[in-house]
Structure 1
Amino acid sequence: MIDLNADLGEGLGPWRLGDDLALMSIVSSANVACGFHAGDPVIMRRTCAAAVERGVVIGAQVSYRDLSGFGRREMDVAPEELTAEVLYQIAALDGIARAEGDRVRYVKPHGALYNRIVRDPVQAEAVAAAVEAYDPGLPVLTLPGSALHQVTDLTIVNECFADRAYTPAGTLVSRREPGAVIEDVAQVTERALRMAVEGVVEATDGTRIRVDARSICVHGDTPGAVGLAQAVRRSLEEAGVPLKAFA
Protein backbone atom coordinates (compact mmCIF):
# COMPACT_ATOMS: atom_id res chain seq x y z
CA MET A 1 0.00 0.00 0.00
CA ILE A 2 1.46 3.36 -1.00
CA ASP A 3 0.44 7.01 -0.94
CA LEU A 4 1.12 9.32 -3.88
CA ASN A 5 1.55 12.99 -2.98
CA ALA A 6 2.26 16.21 -4.85
CA ASP A 7 2.97 19.84 -3.93
CA LEU A 8 -0.06 21.91 -4.91
CA GLY A 9 -1.40 25.44 -4.54
CA GLU A 10 2.01 26.91 -5.29
CA GLY A 11 0.83 29.92 -7.27
CA LEU A 12 0.65 33.49 -6.01
CA GLY A 13 -1.92 36.11 -6.98
CA PRO A 14 -2.49 35.81 -10.75
CA TRP A 15 0.47 33.44 -11.18
CA ARG A 16 -0.08 29.69 -11.35
CA LEU A 17 2.51 26.94 -11.09
CA GLY A 18 1.61 23.55 -12.52
CA ASP A 19 -1.79 22.01 -13.20
CA ASP A 20 -3.27 21.49 -9.74
CA LEU A 21 -6.64 20.16 -10.91
CA ALA A 22 -5.07 17.56 -13.18
CA LEU A 23 -2.70 16.39 -10.47
CA MET A 24 -5.55 16.30 -7.96
CA SER A 25 -7.20 13.58 -10.04
CA ILE A 26 -4.05 11.43 -9.80
CA VAL A 27 -2.61 11.78 -6.30
CA SER A 28 -4.05 10.63 -2.98
CA SER A 29 -2.53 13.43 -0.86
CA ALA A 30 -2.05 17.15 -1.57
CA ASN A 31 0.73 19.12 0.09
CA VAL A 32 -0.86 22.56 0.04
CA ALA A 33 1.38 25.63 0.19
CA CYS A 34 0.52 27.79 3.21
CA GLY A 35 1.60 31.22 1.99
CA PHE A 36 5.22 31.35 3.15
CA HIS A 37 6.95 29.95 0.06
CA ALA A 38 3.94 30.17 -2.27
CA GLY A 39 0.18 30.33 -2.14
CA ASP A 40 -2.20 32.97 -0.85
CA PRO A 41 -5.61 32.83 0.87
CA VAL A 42 -7.57 32.59 -2.40
CA ILE A 43 -5.34 29.86 -3.82
CA MET A 44 -5.32 27.99 -0.51
CA ARG A 45 -9.12 28.03 -0.42
CA ARG A 46 -9.49 26.93 -4.05
CA THR A 47 -6.97 24.13 -3.57
CA CYS A 48 -8.66 22.87 -0.41
CA ALA A 49 -12.07 22.99 -2.08
CA ALA A 50 -10.75 20.98 -5.04
CA ALA A 51 -9.17 18.42 -2.72
CA VAL A 52 -12.41 17.98 -0.77
CA GLU A 53 -14.40 17.60 -3.98
CA ARG A 54 -12.04 14.88 -5.24
CA GLY A 55 -11.51 13.07 -1.95
CA VAL A 56 -7.81 13.98 -1.76
CA VAL A 57 -6.25 14.26 1.70
CA ILE A 58 -5.03 17.75 2.64
CA GLY A 59 -1.59 18.31 4.15
CA ALA A 60 0.02 21.57 5.26
CA GLN A 61 3.22 22.25 3.35
CA VAL A 62 5.07 24.56 5.72
CA SER A 63 8.27 26.40 4.88
CA TYR A 64 10.64 29.19 5.74
CA ARG A 65 9.23 32.68 5.15
CA ASP A 66 10.78 32.99 1.68
CA LEU A 67 8.43 33.94 -1.14
CA SER A 68 11.23 35.36 -3.29
CA GLY A 69 13.27 32.17 -3.07
CA PHE A 70 10.29 29.79 -3.22
CA GLY A 71 11.36 28.43 0.16
CA ARG A 72 14.48 26.86 -1.33
CA ARG A 73 17.05 29.14 0.29
CA GLU A 74 18.83 28.06 3.45
CA MET A 75 17.83 30.30 6.38
CA ASP A 76 18.91 30.53 10.00
CA VAL A 77 15.73 31.08 12.01
CA ALA A 78 15.65 31.06 15.80
CA PRO A 79 13.81 27.97 17.13
CA GLU A 80 11.10 30.00 18.88
CA GLU A 81 10.45 31.98 15.71
CA LEU A 82 10.43 28.88 13.51
CA THR A 83 7.98 27.12 15.80
CA ALA A 84 5.65 30.13 15.74
CA GLU A 85 5.84 30.45 11.95
CA VAL A 86 5.15 26.76 11.35
CA LEU A 87 2.26 26.89 13.84
CA TYR A 88 0.87 29.93 12.01
CA GLN A 89 0.94 28.12 8.67
CA ILE A 90 -0.73 24.95 9.94
CA ALA A 91 -3.46 26.93 11.67
CA ALA A 92 -4.12 29.10 8.61
CA LEU A 93 -4.52 26.18 6.22
CA ASP A 94 -6.51 24.12 8.70
CA GLY A 95 -8.99 26.96 9.18
CA ILE A 96 -9.51 27.21 5.42
CA ALA A 97 -9.72 23.43 5.01
CA ARG A 98 -12.39 23.24 7.73
CA ALA A 99 -14.39 25.98 6.03
CA GLU A 100 -14.33 23.82 2.88
CA GLY A 101 -15.52 20.69 4.70
CA ASP A 102 -12.35 18.86 5.76
CA ARG A 103 -9.19 19.59 7.77
CA VAL A 104 -5.42 19.36 7.62
CA ARG A 105 -4.47 15.72 8.20
CA TYR A 106 -0.66 15.85 8.04
CA VAL A 107 2.30 18.22 7.79
CA LYS A 108 5.11 18.24 5.23
CA PRO A 109 7.96 20.77 5.37
CA HIS A 110 8.99 22.26 2.04
CA GLY A 111 12.26 22.92 0.28
CA ALA A 112 15.16 24.15 2.37
CA LEU A 113 13.27 23.53 5.61
CA TYR A 114 12.57 19.93 4.58
CA ASN A 115 16.24 19.27 3.90
CA ARG A 116 17.42 21.20 6.97
CA ILE A 117 15.43 19.17 9.48
CA VAL A 118 16.82 15.96 8.04
CA ARG A 119 20.25 16.87 9.45
CA ASP A 120 19.58 19.59 12.07
CA PRO A 121 17.96 18.36 15.31
CA VAL A 122 17.46 21.91 16.62
CA GLN A 123 15.39 22.98 13.63
CA ALA A 124 13.69 19.58 13.56
CA GLU A 125 12.64 20.01 17.18
CA ALA A 126 11.30 23.50 16.43
CA VAL A 127 9.09 22.13 13.63
CA ALA A 128 7.96 19.24 15.83
CA ALA A 129 7.08 21.66 18.63
CA ALA A 130 4.72 23.53 16.30
CA VAL A 131 2.92 20.34 15.28
CA GLU A 132 2.71 19.16 18.89
CA ALA A 133 1.26 22.52 19.95
CA TYR A 134 -1.41 22.49 17.26
CA ASP A 135 -2.36 18.82 17.04
CA PRO A 136 -0.01 16.05 18.23
CA GLY A 137 -2.07 13.59 16.20
CA LEU A 138 -0.86 15.03 12.90
CA PRO A 139 1.75 12.87 11.11
CA VAL A 140 4.81 14.54 9.57
CA LEU A 141 6.33 13.51 6.23
CA THR A 142 10.13 13.34 6.05
CA LEU A 143 13.01 11.26 4.73
CA PRO A 144 14.05 8.01 6.40
CA GLY A 145 16.88 8.80 8.81
CA SER A 146 15.67 12.37 9.40
CA ALA A 147 16.54 14.03 12.69
CA LEU A 148 12.79 14.22 13.32
CA HIS A 149 12.84 10.54 14.21
CA GLN A 150 15.10 11.29 17.19
CA VAL A 151 13.58 14.49 18.60
CA THR A 152 9.84 13.81 18.82
CA ASP A 153 7.17 11.24 19.62
CA LEU A 154 4.99 12.48 16.76
CA THR A 155 3.99 10.00 14.07
CA ILE A 156 6.74 10.27 11.45
CA VAL A 157 5.96 8.95 7.98
CA ASN A 158 8.82 8.10 5.62
CA GLU A 159 8.66 9.61 2.17
CA CYS A 160 10.59 9.03 -1.06
CA PHE A 161 10.85 11.04 -4.27
CA ALA A 162 10.26 9.61 -7.71
CA ASP A 163 11.64 12.64 -9.55
CA ARG A 164 14.67 13.54 -7.41
CA ALA A 165 18.22 12.15 -7.36
CA TYR A 166 19.64 10.72 -4.13
CA THR A 167 23.11 10.99 -2.62
CA PRO A 168 24.83 7.83 -1.28
CA ALA A 169 23.90 9.09 2.22
CA GLY A 170 20.21 8.82 1.39
CA THR A 171 19.58 12.58 1.18
CA LEU A 172 18.35 14.50 -1.86
CA VAL A 173 20.87 15.90 -4.30
CA SER A 174 20.87 19.71 -4.14
CA ARG A 175 18.83 21.38 -6.86
CA ARG A 176 21.96 23.41 -7.64
CA GLU A 177 23.60 20.22 -8.92
CA PRO A 178 23.02 18.89 -12.46
CA GLY A 179 20.69 15.91 -12.59
CA ALA A 180 19.05 16.69 -9.25
CA VAL A 181 15.57 16.66 -10.85
CA ILE A 182 14.68 13.63 -12.99
CA GLU A 183 12.30 14.35 -15.88
CA ASP A 184 12.50 11.15 -17.93
CA VAL A 185 9.17 9.31 -17.63
CA ALA A 186 10.62 5.81 -17.90
CA GLN A 187 13.27 6.52 -15.28
CA VAL A 188 10.82 8.14 -12.88
CA THR A 189 8.30 5.29 -13.11
CA GLU A 190 11.00 2.63 -12.74
CA ARG A 191 12.36 4.33 -9.62
CA ALA A 192 8.90 4.78 -8.12
CA LEU A 193 8.05 1.11 -8.65
CA ARG A 194 11.30 -0.09 -7.07
CA MET A 195 10.80 2.20 -4.10
CA ALA A 196 7.24 0.97 -3.59
CA VAL A 197 7.88 -2.75 -4.14
CA GLU A 198 11.50 -3.27 -3.05
CA GLY A 199 11.98 -0.28 -0.73
CA VAL A 200 15.18 0.81 -2.48
CA VAL A 201 16.42 3.59 -4.75
CA GLU A 202 19.66 3.89 -6.69
CA ALA A 203 21.92 6.75 -5.57
CA THR A 204 24.06 8.84 -7.90
CA ASP A 205 27.04 6.51 -7.41
CA GLY A 206 24.99 3.39 -8.17
CA THR A 207 24.61 2.19 -4.59
CA ARG A 208 21.20 0.95 -3.42
CA ILE A 209 19.65 3.05 -0.66
CA ARG A 210 16.90 1.75 1.63
CA VAL A 211 13.87 4.04 1.71
CA ASP A 212 11.04 1.96 3.24
CA ALA A 213 8.62 4.76 2.42
CA ARG A 214 4.85 4.94 2.89
CA SER A 215 4.45 7.88 0.50
CA ILE A 216 5.93 8.77 -2.90
CA CYS A 217 6.22 12.41 -4.00
CA VAL A 218 6.02 13.73 -7.54
CA HIS A 219 6.70 17.46 -7.55
CA GLY A 220 4.00 19.63 -9.07
CA ASP A 221 6.58 22.01 -10.57
CA THR A 222 8.68 19.36 -12.31
CA PRO A 223 8.40 19.76 -16.11
CA GLY A 224 5.73 17.37 -17.36
CA ALA A 225 4.52 16.75 -13.79
CA VAL A 226 1.05 15.56 -14.80
CA GLY A 227 2.39 13.02 -17.27
CA LEU A 228 4.96 11.82 -14.73
CA ALA A 229 2.33 11.41 -12.02
CA GLN A 230 -0.01 9.56 -14.40
CA ALA A 231 2.77 7.19 -15.43
CA VAL A 232 3.78 6.54 -11.82
CA ARG A 233 0.23 5.81 -10.75
CA ARG A 234 -0.37 3.55 -13.76
CA SER A 235 2.82 1.55 -13.12
CA LEU A 236 1.94 1.07 -9.45
CA GLU A 237 -1.59 -0.06 -10.26
CA GLU A 238 -0.36 -2.45 -12.95
CA ALA A 239 2.06 -3.92 -10.41
CA GLY A 240 -0.80 -4.50 -7.97
CA VAL A 241 0.35 -1.87 -5.46
CA PRO A 242 -2.75 -0.38 -3.80
CA LEU A 243 -2.82 3.43 -3.64
CA LYS A 244 -4.12 4.80 -0.36
CA ALA A 245 -3.44 7.99 1.60
CA PHE A 246 -1.42 7.41 4.77
CA ALA A 247 -3.36 10.01 6.78
Structure 2
Amino acid sequence: MTTVDLNCDLGEGFGAWTMGDDAGLLGVVSSANVACGFHGGDPTIMRGICETAAARGITVGAHVGYRDLAGFGRREIAVPATQLADDVLYQLAALDGIARVAGTRVRYVKPHGALYNTIVHDAEQAAAVVDAARSYDPTLTILGLPGSEVLRIATVHGLSTVPEAFGDRAYHTDGRLVSRRRPGAVITDPGAVAARCLELATTGTVTSIEGEPVAVRARSLCVHGDTPGAVGLLRRVREVLTEHGITIAAFA
Protein backbone atom coordinates (compact mmCIF):
# COMPACT_ATOMS: atom_id res chain seq x y z
CA MET A 1 0.00 0.00 0.00
CA THR A 2 1.10 3.56 -0.69
CA THR A 3 -1.74 5.00 1.41
CA VAL A 4 -3.18 3.64 4.64
CA ASP A 5 -5.67 4.79 7.24
CA LEU A 6 -4.84 4.87 10.95
CA ASN A 7 -7.90 4.35 13.15
CA CYS A 8 -8.32 4.21 16.90
CA ASP A 9 -11.14 3.71 19.41
CA LEU A 10 -11.87 6.94 21.27
CA GLY A 11 -14.37 8.44 23.69
CA GLU A 12 -14.61 5.31 25.80
CA GLY A 13 -14.72 7.09 29.15
CA PHE A 14 -18.00 7.67 30.94
CA GLY A 15 -18.90 10.58 33.20
CA ALA A 16 -16.11 10.95 35.76
CA TRP A 17 -14.27 7.88 34.47
CA THR A 18 -11.64 8.32 31.78
CA MET A 19 -10.36 5.75 29.31
CA GLY A 20 -7.41 6.51 27.08
CA ASP A 21 -5.91 9.84 26.01
CA ASP A 22 -8.48 11.12 23.54
CA ALA A 23 -6.77 14.48 23.01
CA GLY A 24 -3.45 12.84 22.25
CA LEU A 25 -4.96 10.21 19.99
CA LEU A 26 -6.76 12.84 17.94
CA GLY A 27 -3.35 14.27 17.14
CA VAL A 28 -2.18 11.16 15.28
CA VAL A 29 -5.14 9.25 13.79
CA SER A 30 -6.87 9.82 10.47
CA SER A 31 -10.12 8.10 11.53
CA ALA A 32 -11.77 8.11 14.96
CA ASN A 33 -14.00 5.25 16.12
CA VAL A 34 -16.19 7.08 18.63
CA ALA A 35 -17.95 5.13 21.38
CA CYS A 36 -21.70 5.73 21.30
CA GLY A 37 -22.71 5.19 24.92
CA PHE A 38 -23.38 1.45 25.12
CA HIS A 39 -19.92 0.17 26.10
CA GLY A 40 -18.43 3.57 26.90
CA GLY A 41 -18.88 7.21 26.03
CA ASP A 42 -21.49 9.79 26.93
CA PRO A 43 -23.01 12.78 25.08
CA THR A 44 -20.46 15.29 26.40
CA ILE A 45 -17.50 13.09 25.47
CA MET A 46 -19.03 12.34 22.07
CA ARG A 47 -19.56 16.02 21.29
CA GLY A 48 -16.05 17.02 22.36
CA ILE A 49 -14.43 14.41 20.14
CA CYS A 50 -16.64 15.26 17.18
CA GLU A 51 -15.82 18.96 17.50
CA THR A 52 -12.09 18.25 17.58
CA ALA A 53 -12.37 15.79 14.70
CA ALA A 54 -14.27 18.34 12.62
CA ALA A 55 -11.66 21.02 13.29
CA ARG A 56 -8.77 18.72 12.37
CA GLY A 57 -10.33 16.98 9.38
CA ILE A 58 -10.45 13.58 11.07
CA THR A 59 -13.11 11.17 9.82
CA VAL A 60 -15.69 10.08 12.41
CA GLY A 61 -16.99 6.52 12.69
CA ALA A 62 -19.58 4.98 15.01
CA HIS A 63 -17.99 2.50 17.41
CA VAL A 64 -21.11 0.52 18.25
CA GLY A 65 -21.31 -2.33 20.72
CA TYR A 66 -23.45 -4.48 22.95
CA ARG A 67 -25.34 -2.72 25.75
CA ASP A 68 -22.63 -3.54 28.31
CA LEU A 69 -21.13 -0.61 30.23
CA ALA A 70 -20.11 -2.81 33.16
CA GLY A 71 -18.19 -5.21 30.93
CA PHE A 72 -16.85 -2.55 28.56
CA GLY A 73 -18.60 -4.32 25.70
CA ARG A 74 -16.22 -7.26 25.83
CA ARG A 75 -18.78 -9.84 26.95
CA GLU A 76 -20.70 -11.75 24.30
CA ILE A 77 -24.43 -11.22 24.76
CA ALA A 78 -27.21 -13.30 23.19
CA VAL A 79 -29.25 -10.46 21.69
CA PRO A 80 -32.06 -11.21 19.21
CA ALA A 81 -31.17 -9.94 15.76
CA THR A 82 -34.03 -7.43 15.61
CA GLN A 83 -33.04 -5.95 18.97
CA LEU A 84 -29.39 -5.80 17.97
CA ALA A 85 -30.29 -3.93 14.79
CA ASP A 86 -32.28 -1.43 16.83
CA ASP A 87 -29.45 -1.03 19.35
CA VAL A 88 -26.95 -0.35 16.57
CA LEU A 89 -29.35 2.09 14.91
CA TYR A 90 -29.85 3.92 18.21
CA GLN A 91 -26.10 4.34 18.75
CA LEU A 92 -25.44 5.34 15.16
CA ALA A 93 -28.19 7.95 15.08
CA ALA A 94 -27.15 9.40 18.43
CA LEU A 95 -23.54 9.90 17.37
CA ASP A 96 -24.46 11.22 13.94
CA GLY A 97 -26.80 13.80 15.46
CA ILE A 98 -24.04 15.07 17.72
CA ALA A 99 -21.53 14.94 14.86
CA ARG A 100 -23.72 17.09 12.64
CA VAL A 101 -24.06 19.74 15.36
CA ALA A 102 -20.27 19.65 15.68
CA GLY A 103 -19.80 20.26 11.95
CA THR A 104 -19.12 16.77 10.69
CA ARG A 105 -20.99 13.47 10.26
CA VAL A 106 -20.56 9.75 10.75
CA ARG A 107 -18.95 8.16 7.69
CA TYR A 108 -18.49 4.55 8.77
CA VAL A 109 -19.42 1.91 11.35
CA LYS A 110 -16.93 -0.19 13.29
CA PRO A 111 -18.36 -2.56 15.91
CA HIS A 112 -16.57 -2.90 19.24
CA GLY A 113 -15.23 -5.73 21.35
CA ALA A 114 -17.40 -8.82 21.67
CA LEU A 115 -19.75 -7.65 18.91
CA TYR A 116 -16.80 -7.17 16.54
CA ASN A 117 -15.58 -10.71 17.21
CA THR A 118 -19.05 -12.27 17.06
CA ILE A 119 -19.86 -10.88 13.61
CA VAL A 120 -16.71 -12.36 12.19
CA HIS A 121 -18.52 -15.74 12.14
CA ASP A 122 -22.15 -15.15 13.19
CA ALA A 123 -24.11 -14.32 10.02
CA GLU A 124 -27.34 -13.47 11.85
CA GLN A 125 -25.77 -10.85 14.10
CA ALA A 126 -23.62 -9.57 11.24
CA ALA A 127 -26.74 -9.08 9.13
CA ALA A 128 -28.34 -7.12 11.99
CA VAL A 129 -25.42 -4.69 12.06
CA VAL A 130 -25.53 -4.28 8.28
CA ASP A 131 -29.31 -3.79 8.34
CA ALA A 132 -29.02 -0.98 10.87
CA ALA A 133 -26.30 0.80 8.91
CA ARG A 134 -28.05 0.37 5.56
CA SER A 135 -31.39 1.55 6.96
CA TYR A 136 -29.85 4.66 8.43
CA ASP A 137 -27.52 5.63 5.58
CA PRO A 138 -26.61 3.32 2.68
CA THR A 139 -23.50 5.40 1.95
CA LEU A 140 -21.88 4.30 5.23
CA THR A 141 -18.79 2.12 5.11
CA ILE A 142 -18.38 -0.98 7.30
CA LEU A 143 -14.94 -1.45 8.87
CA GLY A 144 -14.12 -4.98 9.98
CA LEU A 145 -11.87 -8.03 9.97
CA PRO A 146 -10.86 -9.39 6.55
CA GLY A 147 -12.92 -12.42 5.59
CA SER A 148 -15.59 -11.70 8.20
CA GLU A 149 -19.29 -12.35 7.76
CA VAL A 150 -20.10 -8.68 8.33
CA LEU A 151 -17.95 -7.55 5.41
CA ARG A 152 -19.35 -10.29 3.18
CA ILE A 153 -22.97 -9.41 3.99
CA ALA A 154 -22.34 -5.67 3.69
CA THR A 155 -20.93 -6.23 0.20
CA VAL A 156 -23.96 -8.29 -0.80
CA HIS A 157 -26.21 -5.40 0.22
CA GLY A 158 -24.18 -2.79 -1.64
CA LEU A 159 -22.38 -1.13 1.27
CA SER A 160 -18.75 -0.13 0.97
CA THR A 161 -16.38 -2.18 3.12
CA VAL A 162 -12.86 -1.66 4.41
CA PRO A 163 -10.83 -4.51 5.93
CA GLU A 164 -8.61 -3.59 8.85
CA ALA A 165 -5.68 -5.03 10.76
CA PHE A 166 -4.46 -4.53 14.32
CA GLY A 167 -0.95 -3.43 15.13
CA ASP A 168 -1.33 -4.03 18.87
CA ARG A 169 -3.07 -7.43 18.81
CA ALA A 170 -1.71 -10.92 18.22
CA TYR A 171 -3.17 -13.15 15.50
CA HIS A 172 -3.64 -16.87 15.18
CA THR A 173 -2.49 -18.57 11.99
CA ASP A 174 -6.10 -18.78 10.76
CA GLY A 175 -6.45 -14.97 10.96
CA ARG A 176 -8.45 -14.82 14.19
CA LEU A 177 -7.40 -12.43 16.95
CA VAL A 178 -5.87 -14.05 20.02
CA SER A 179 -8.15 -13.83 23.07
CA ARG A 180 -7.26 -11.02 25.45
CA ARG A 181 -7.29 -13.62 28.23
CA ARG A 182 -4.15 -15.17 26.78
CA PRO A 183 -0.66 -13.77 27.57
CA GLY A 184 0.83 -11.94 24.60
CA ALA A 185 -2.54 -11.07 23.06
CA VAL A 186 -1.91 -7.32 23.43
CA ILE A 187 1.37 -5.88 22.13
CA THR A 188 2.65 -2.71 23.83
CA ASP A 189 6.23 -2.31 22.60
CA PRO A 190 6.34 0.69 20.20
CA GLY A 191 9.02 -0.84 18.00
CA ALA A 192 7.17 -4.13 17.68
CA VAL A 193 3.83 -2.45 16.91
CA ALA A 194 5.41 -0.17 14.30
CA ALA A 195 7.23 -3.09 12.69
CA ARG A 196 4.01 -5.10 12.49
CA CYS A 197 2.15 -2.18 10.91
CA LEU A 198 4.92 -1.70 8.35
CA GLU A 199 4.84 -5.42 7.55
CA LEU A 200 1.07 -5.28 7.12
CA ALA A 201 1.22 -2.19 4.92
CA THR A 202 4.04 -3.41 2.68
CA THR A 203 3.47 -7.17 2.46
CA GLY A 204 -0.14 -7.75 3.54
CA THR A 205 1.04 -10.27 6.12
CA VAL A 206 1.73 -10.46 9.84
CA THR A 207 3.47 -13.10 11.93
CA SER A 208 1.03 -15.13 14.05
CA ILE A 209 1.48 -16.03 17.70
CA GLU A 210 2.32 -19.51 16.44
CA GLY A 211 5.18 -18.02 14.39
CA GLU A 212 3.60 -18.44 10.96
CA PRO A 213 2.92 -15.73 8.35
CA VAL A 214 -0.76 -14.75 8.06
CA ALA A 215 -2.25 -12.98 5.05
CA VAL A 216 -4.13 -9.90 6.31
CA ARG A 217 -5.06 -7.60 3.44
CA ALA A 218 -6.11 -4.36 5.09
CA ARG A 219 -6.71 -0.75 4.10
CA SER A 220 -6.85 0.52 7.67
CA LEU A 221 -4.59 -0.13 10.66
CA CYS A 222 -5.84 0.07 14.24
CA VAL A 223 -4.25 0.55 17.65
CA HIS A 224 -6.72 0.36 20.54
CA GLY A 225 -7.16 3.52 22.59
CA ASP A 226 -7.04 1.61 25.88
CA THR A 227 -3.77 -0.17 25.06
CA PRO A 228 -1.08 1.16 27.45
CA GLY A 229 0.88 3.95 25.75
CA ALA A 230 -1.48 4.05 22.76
CA VAL A 231 -0.53 7.61 21.78
CA GLY A 232 3.16 6.76 21.70
CA LEU A 233 2.46 3.56 19.77
CA LEU A 234 0.51 5.43 17.10
CA ARG A 235 3.11 8.18 16.84
CA ARG A 236 5.81 5.58 16.24
CA VAL A 237 3.63 3.77 13.70
CA ARG A 238 3.01 7.02 11.86
CA GLU A 239 6.71 7.90 11.85
CA VAL A 240 7.80 4.52 10.52
CA LEU A 241 5.15 4.37 7.80
CA THR A 242 5.93 7.91 6.66
CA GLU A 243 9.65 7.16 6.60
CA HIS A 244 8.91 4.32 4.18
CA GLY A 245 6.89 6.52 1.83
CA ILE A 246 3.43 5.48 2.99
CA THR A 247 0.83 8.27 3.18
CA ILE A 248 -1.57 8.37 6.12
CA ALA A 249 -5.10 9.26 4.98
CA ALA A 250 -8.66 8.37 5.97
CA PHE A 251 -10.44 5.80 3.79
CA ALA A 252 -13.79 7.62 4.03
Return the TM-score normalized by structure 2.
0.97
Query: Would you say the 8 A contact 2:21–2:231 is kept in 1?
Result: yes
Identity of aligned residues (%): 58
SS in 2 for 1:213: coil
- 1:44-93 CA-to-partner distances (Å, cap 9, x unmatched) read 11111111111111000000000000000011100000000000000000
Distance across 1 between alignment mates of 2:182 and 2:75 = 14
Match of 2:181 in 1: 176
Moved over 3 A (4+): none
Q: Quick one: which amino acid aligns to residue 118 of structure 1? A: V
SS in 2 for 1:163: coil
Aligned residues: 247
Q: Quick one: which amino acid aligns to residue 201 of structure 1? A: V
Q: Which moved more, 1:48-57 or 1:98-107?
A: 48-57
SS in 1 for 2:214: strand
* TM alignment of 1:1-247, pairs within 5 A: 1-152=3-154, 153=157, 154-247=159-252
SS in 2 for 1:105: strand
User: RMSD of the TM alignment (CA)?
Assistant: 0.7
Query: Would you say the 8 A contact 1:9–1:32 is kept in 2?
Result: yes
Query: Would you say the 8 A contact 2:145–2:151 is kept in 1?
Result: no
Deviation, structure 1 residue 237: 0.3
Query: Would you say the 8 A contact 2:67–2:73 is kept in 1?
Result: yes
Runs of 5+ consecutive residues of structure 1 not aligned to the other structure: none
Distance across 2 between alignment mates of 1:41 and 1:184 = 33
Return the TM-score normalized by structure 1.
0.99
Distance across 1 between alignment mates of 2:48 and 2:249 = 23
Q: Quick one: which amino acid aligns to residue 29 of structure 2? A: V
- 1:146-167 CA-to-partner distances (Å, cap 9, x unmatched) read 0123323321110000000001
SS in 1 for 2:168: coil
SS in 2 for 1:109: coil
Query: Would you say the 8 A contact 2:144–2:151 is kept in 1?
Result: no
Distance across 1 between alignment mates of 2:161 and 2:152 = 10
Deviation, structure 1 residue 16: 1.2
- 1:207-243 CA-to-partner distances (Å, cap 9, x unmatched) read 1111110000011110011110000000000000011
SS in 1 for 2:143: strand
SS in 2 for 1:42: helix
